[in-house]
Amino acid sequence: MSYIEKLLLRMKIQSEKAEEEDWDGEAEKDPQKLSKSLETNINAIKKEFEDCCDLVIREFSFGKEGCIKAALIFIDGLTNQPLINDNIVKPLMYDSRFFRSDETSGVSDIEELRDRLISVGDLKTDQTYHELSQACLSGDAVLLVEGFDKALDISAKGWEKRAVTEPVTEMVVRGPREGFIENLRTNTAMIRRKVKSPALKIRPVKIGDRTNTQVNIVYIEGIADPALIAEIERRLSNIDTDAILSAGNIEQYIEDSPNSPFQTVRYSEKPDTIAGKLMEGRAAILVDGTPFVLCVPMLFIENFQASEDYAVRTSYATSVRILRVCAFFISLFGPALYIALVTYHQELLPTTLLITMAASSEGLPFPAALETTIMLISFEILKEAGVRMPRPIGQAISIVGALVMGEAAVQAGLVGAPIVIVVALTAVSSFAVTFVSDAVSILKWLLVVLAATMGSYGITLGALAIVIHLASLRSFGADYLAPFAPFQQDDLKDTVIRAPLWAMRTRPRALHPQDLKRQSFEIPFDPTVAHKGGQGEKK
Amino acid sequence: MKKNASKAPAGKTKQECPGALNPVRRAVAALLCALMILSLSSCWSRRELNTLAIVLATAVDEGKESGELKVTTQIVSPGEIKSGPSSSGSSASKKAYANIDNTDKSVISALDGFTHITNRKMYFSHNRILIFSREVAQKGILEDLDAFTRNYETRMNVYLLISKDKAADILDEEIELEQMPANHIAEMLEAQHSNSETAIITLLDFDIAFLSGSTAPVAPMIEMYEIDGKKKARLEGTAVFKQGKMIGELNVAQTRGLMWATGKAERATITIDTKDGKVDLLIIHAKGSMKPVKAEDGTFRIRLKVYAEGDIESNETGKDMSSVENTEMLQEQVEEFIRAEIESTLKHAKTLSADVFGFGEAIRRDYPKDWEKIKENWDSEFSGLKTDMEIDVKIASSGEMGKPVVQGGAE
Amino acid sequence: MKLEKGSISGRALIFAVFCFMQGTMLRSAFIVVVTKNDSWAMAFTGLLGSLLLTAIYAALLRRFQEKNLFEINELVFGPVVGKVFSVLYLFFFLSLAALNTHDIGDFVVGYMMQETPLAAIILLFVLICVYAVRKGIANIVRLSTVLCIIAMSAVLINTVLMLNEIQPGFIKPLFQLPLGKYVQGTITVAALPMGEVLAFTMIAPMLGKNKKAGKMMAYGLVLAAVFLGIVLLRDILVLGPMAGVFRLPSYESVRYVKLAGILTRMESLYAVVLIILYVFKVSILLYACVLGLAQLVNFKSYQPLTLICGALVFFYSLFVYKSVMEHADWGATVAPIFSLTFELVLPSAALVAVSIKKTIRLRET
């Protein structure tokens, strides 16, 4: 007993200490202002950026006879060198005003430089060392002038970035092929190009004590629920860590149920997907440095929706949706059902099928549950290896895996042929619904264990437990299983079926949008009849 | 089974609830409990496929000593299924099935006794046919049927058959088309709709017929015959039961009469002997209904209505049977034919004093109060029961030809 | 209390009542044994009887808006007598939960996995119900619409597939049994499946203000009665006199389906739907127990009690009856009286007490 008490006491003390030692961000420090002396400023910067060899401090003087001393500080690699040369250094050095002898010999205010000389679009003044260092680290060039305690923060961002290409994780057949890249501003620009309205608001947040990652919250005012935006901001401001390296990190801090295997925050790599979700009343969170954009709130049914569905024909889109739902069920229940049927409920198989399966399981050493487990584990290893392998070897893995392991295992009499088919079908189905495949690959095991011990009774109860869990999930105030769980008939148009676009008159109610109506066509829609209020009407 | 361990009870923090464990501990505890529950509760009812003996057919015979029954089951031999259908005659190729038998005092003890002989557990959910031999049927099959109805594995749509000789021999039928005799016989039964000369009875039908106090249940009969040295099975006739014991038989024509009267006939082929030759007709639809009619003096008459619709299948007369008078003549002759069949069945049933048609049930449904009075002497009532038959035959077409092809017919 | 007010819609309540009843409907042997081939009519006469019960509950709920049954008891009878009544109701809900749990355990053991001990099956079942109550019963009730659609489709699909095997003559003779049997049948149907709508008086406060819980419950009962009629009719027409012989006529008649050699073995669908419906039912009963217990001992939140109540139900269900035969016997003879005591006598006592109090107060003023 006393050992446990000691353990508990130790853990308590540790947690108390950890609370005290909370890392204070640099922002807590007293923001120290710049001094008027150039020398002091430069020395302070040099000290702060000691051992940072990529910091460049270019001291120069301009004006009549070089009477004005100045220094330009920037980080090599983050800045656009031609811009610094042409738009900052050149105007300062060659401006004719300074050569007129009867004019004032100096500059009265740094603002004058800003207003008259520096020909760069984005320009700010900084007053503290902290702002200065942040500016340098963001890729700006800072101009310090002797005698002024303000610095000019000149935007000179230019670093190597990836070209806009087709996103790797979301392939489309018919639809735009742009994908987000790692640069935040380019991403917001891509969204802006889809929604050309000033109602598209972008709010900046900085997260991460040491990484100081830029995060933008994007939403459409007038559609998105203000409570949602307030909640997002509150959760983002609650993040108290020192490193945010990807959108996935942020997702884990802000999501409603961290322990649930199901995602409650959607991510996407395509601007048109995000724009579509913004129009429904959601908000997007863009993180600098990662091409994945988060989108909240998320509903379960979004796992089966793709942006391409809205670009193809209604009947085809509906059939593909239904197919995806079937694939989800196959990937979740496939192995478990196989085990339950073969081990417990042989009366549910048609006689001929049962005889064939009995024939193929003659002489096999393992019970059905064990051989399923073996095959599933081998397949998971194969899948993971295929993702991480360098490309030349990756091809060999797939051939080795499929042919050798499956075929040879059957030939050697280790596993039966039906189980190889079941596992292959399960695996392929899980690729058809990629968003939910993480959850599926965990829950699949739970169902396999339940099936192996309790047969289809176990599967039923396991499935019920999953459904109960899903019904109790909330995503930023929206019910996860809407429109099924609180049954909203109007929203069923975009779930398993995809109703024609002219029939989807309202936005999903589960997201509590402010402007419920999207369009006001009469159902059924007849394009040959004139509609009032059509935008294409020529006035 | 997954507890959401991170959510503390609503409204309580760690300070208010001093005994609460932190989330990691709770998760570990829950996991341990789950593992223990599942492993302790695991797999009692687990049956691996290679420990099952899948029974496809069961046959019950008399054992060597009196009072004993021999139960033969036909089990699938899955290992032999891989090789395709066995070619005829080669005795070296193994059969895809095995017939195992056991003898004991009753059916259920014989079935239990199988565990002494085989290494696999008998699995009855795919049992398709149940054959009783004539001797067993004459002694009474009710007790044996109870075991099959009560068991949760067996299904009610298993077919019931009575064999004329030994039931176990039926299971040794040698056929080229199927790998297993059980499948062959079961599918043969299902195909009997096309001749309507066999009563297709499932266990449910038999039990329902037996539950009514007046109806005599029937079951089809099957016999073995030899041709070219091979043993084959043939469905012929119907067995009539009373109080669970077999008391008589109906031959093929009488069985068809029963089918017409009870409305179970579907397709049939009728051969009419006209003065010019034979004409074969194919009946495509047949409907029958029986309705009790109460006369003024309180006695009952049964009105049987049969409606049949058919085509001319073959015309061997050489005359044009598709003309209107000839068609009418044919219709009348078919009506006579059907009437004769039904009357033959009626007469035989009255001799056996067995109400195979279900007249008693019909009276009970429509006139329950009168039924209470006469149900005690139903046997004698049945012998004196009069029937009115209304038979309506329609010949819809004469096939693809009108006039027959005869020599010189084109001129 | 800490109920989520206004968190379920009226329509969800209707379908929840339907799903609640549907589980017991599918195990309808207790009616067929009594009234044989007229059992389908008992569905409708039983509905009338249960509408009477619902009227009593609706009247009580209307007078005390947003209060559940236990709170109403305390308000009407005062703290001491009210608690006595509450204990009685608690016993009733616990018994119902235990009976239903044992029932579904019997089904699984009898028809699916014979060698598994009952305790293992019931344990897993109770754990799922406890999980459901912990996650919030409002979520489960919201699922009722989808569940109702699934259950209805299952019944309809099975019925359509069995149309081939129907023999219409089985329904005759009509109404030939002595009147006493019909009365017994009506009371059984009104008390046993339908009267259990009492449990919904614990959930009714979730509807929010000014919503007529009684009306929703009545609609749900009507829907349930219609489907009970369909199921009974189907079983009688397929099985005939055997319907009174089998322990589970619906299960056997579904087993008989054989369409084109492919659509066989539909009883698996039936079994899955039955288990799901029973989980739903026992979750709601468990919630009623937990909430009642929490109010009896004045807990602020019912969450810690879920596991305790679950354990109670588990152990109680193990010994609530010894064998299936005893259960069938109890269901036919004693059960209606037992149920009616709690469903009819106690609530009407409460209603009478309220009316008396009101008239006394009116006379005083």
What pLDDT digit, counting tens, does each position of B116-151 carry?
888 888 888 888 889 998 888 888 888 778 888 887
pLDDT at A26: 46
Contact C135 A467 (CB under 8 A): no
Residues B73 and B220 in one domain: yes
DSSP string, A188-257: HHHHHHH--STTEEEEEEEE-TTT-EEEEEEEETTTS-HHHHHHHHHHHHT---S---SHHHHHHHH-S-
Q: Mean pLDDT, chain C, as a whole number?
A: 84
Please check the confidence at residue C200 and state whether its pLDDT lies above 90.
Answer: no
For residue A18, the distance in angstroms to the closest alpha carbon of chain B comes to 16
Q: Which of B200, B216, B250 is the last residue of a domain?
A: B250
Contact B6 A356 (CB under 8 A): no
Contact B45 A455 (CB under 8 A): yes
What's the mean pLDDT in B322-330?
Answer: 81
Residues B73 and B156 in one domain: yes
For residue A303, the distance in angstroms to the closest alpha carbon of chain C comes to 19
As a whole number of angstroms, the distance between CA C134 and CA B9 comes to 9
| pLDDT band at A28; cut points 50, 70, 90 | very low
Contact A346 B128 (CB under 8 A): no
ω into C193 cis (within 30 of 0): no
| pLDDT band at B66; cut points 50, 70, 90 | confident
Tokens representing residue B193 in the block: 């709709």
Tokens representing residue A378 in the block: 């081998």
pLDDT at A344: 85
Q: How far, in Å, are A66, A83, A132, A154 from residue A121 at the CA level?
A: 26, 11, 18, 8
Tokens representing residue A46 in the block: 């040099």
Contact A344 C112 (CB under 8 A): yes
| pLDDT band at A539; cut points 50, 70, 90 | very low
Instruction: Print the domain residue range for B229.
Output: 49-80+94-250
Percent of chain B with pLDDT over 70: 88
DSSP string, C139-194: HHHHTHHHHHHHHHHHHHHHHHHHGGG--GGGGPSPS-S-HHHHHHHHHHHIIIII
Contact B43 A453 (CB under 8 A): yes
| pLDDT band at A467; cut points 50, 70, 90 | very high
Residues B214 and B292 in one domain: no
Residues B215 and B263 in one domain: no
Estimate the crossing angle of helix A184-194 against helix A271-280, to 10 degrees: 60
Residues B297 and B188 in one domain: no
B165 touches chain C (CB under 8 A): no
pLDDT at B84: 45
* CB of B275 closer than 8 Å to CB of B359: no
Worst-scoring range by mean pLDDT, A76-85, A96-105, A509-518, B232-241?
A: A96-105
The count of structural domains within chain B is 2
Percent of chain A with pLDDT over 90: 19
| pLDDT band at C243; cut points 50, 70, 90 | confident
pLDDT at B11: 38
Residues B224 and B345 in one domain: no
Q: Which residue has the higher pLDDT, A187 or C170?
A: A187
For residue A297, the distance in angstroms to the closest alpha carbon of chain C comes to 18
A509 touches chain C (CB under 8 A): no
Contact A457 C139 (CB under 8 A): no
Of B39, B41, B126, the CB nearest to A351: B126
pLDDT at A216: 93
Of C111, C258, C303, the CB nearest to B157: C258
Q: Which of B250, B282, B302 is the last residue of a domain?
A: B250
Contact A359 B4 (CB under 8 A): no
Residue B346 located in a structural domain: yes
Of A11, A257, A364, the CB nearest to B50: A364
Residues B321 and B396 in one domain: yes
What's the mean pLDDT in C221-225?
Answer: 90
Residue B366 located in a structural domain: yes
* CATH code assigned at B273: 3.30.300.210
Q: Which residue has the higher pLDDT, B9 or A240?
A: A240
Residue B25 located in a structural domain: no
pLDDT at C295: 86
Residues B224 and B261 in one domain: no
Count of other CB atoms within 10 angstroms of residue A48: 14
Q: Mean pLDDT, chain A, as a whole number?
A: 83
pLDDT at B91: 41
pLDDT at B2: 40
Residue B24 located in a structural domain: no
Which residues fall within 8 angstroms of residue A343, CB to CB, at 6 or more apart? A367, A368, A369, A451, A452, A455, B46, B47, B48, B49
Strand partners, A294: A267, A285
pLDDT at B31: 79
Q: Which of B250, B281, B309 is the last residue of a domain?
A: B250
Please check the confidence at residue A180 and state whether its pLDDT lies above 60.
Answer: yes
Residue B129 located in a structural domain: yes
- Residue in chain A nearest C15 by alpha carbon: A487
As a whole number of angstroms, the distance between CA C13 and CA C31 comes to 26
Worst-scoring range by mean pLDDT, A69-73, B381-385, C122-126, C219-223?
A: B381-385
- C-chain CB neighbours of A465 within 8 Å are 128, 131
Interface test mutation site (partner A, options C139, C150, C266, C269, max chain A beta carbons within 10 A)? C139
Question: How far apart, in Å, do the first and last CA atoms of chain B sit?
Answer: 89
Q: Which amino acid, B320?
A: D
pLDDT at C275: 92
Please check the confidence at residue A242 and state whether its pLDDT lies above 50.
Answer: yes
Q: State pLDDT tens for residues A4-20.
A: 788 778 878 877 776 66
pLDDT at A469: 93
| Domains assigned to chain C | 10-364 (1.20.1740.10)
Q: Mean pLDDT, chain B, as a whole number?
A: 79
Residue B303 located in a structural domain: yes
Q: State pLDDT tens for residues B37-59.
A: 666 655 667 778 878 888 888 88
Rounded to a whole number, what is the largest CA-CA distance in chain B?
114
Residues B233 and B260 in one domain: no
As a whole number of angstroms, the distance between CA A313 and CA C68 comes to 51
pLDDT at A59: 86
Which residues fall within 8 angstroms of residue C361, CB to CB, at 6 or more apart? none
Please check the confidence at residue C363 and state whether its pLDDT lies above 50.
Answer: yes
Residues B212 and B356 in one domain: no
pLDDT at B19: 47
Residues B211 and B298 in one domain: no
pLDDT at A533: 59
Residues B270 and B391 in one domain: yes
pLDDT at C262: 61
| pLDDT band at B89; cut points 50, 70, 90 | very low
As a whole number of angstroms, the distance between CA C240 and CA C237 comes to 6
As a whole number of angstroms, the distance between CA C71 and CA C275 comes to 32
Q: State pLDDT tens for residues B335-356.
A: 888 888 888 888 888 888 888 8
C316 touches chain B (CB under 8 A): no
pLDDT at C277: 93
Residue B99 located in a structural domain: yes
Residue B344 located in a structural domain: yes
Please check the confidence at residue B14 and state whether its pLDDT lies above 70.
Answer: no
